[in-house]
Amino acid sequence: MSELLGAMATAALQTLVGERPADPDHKPRSLNGCHALDTGGALVAQYYPQWYRRTPES
Encode the chain (58 residues) as per-residue pLDDT tens digits: 788 888 898 888 888 877 777 788 888 888 988 888 999 999 999 999 999 998 776 4
Does residue 19 lie within any of the structural domains?
A: no
Per the structure, the count of domains in the chain is 1
What's the pLDDT score for residue 10? 87
Q: Which domain holds residue 52?
A: 28-58
Contact 46, 31 (CB under 8 A): no
How many residues would you count in the chain?
A: 58
pTM flag (> 0.75): no
Give the end-to-end CA distance of the chain in Å, rounded to a whole number: 48
Listed residue (43, 32, 39, 37) closest to 53, CA to CA: 39
Residue 33 lies in a domain: yes
Residue 16 lies in a domain: no
Q: What pLDDT score does 41 carry?
A: 93
Tell me if 5 is assigned to some domain.
Answer: no
Would 14 be classed as within a structural domain?
no
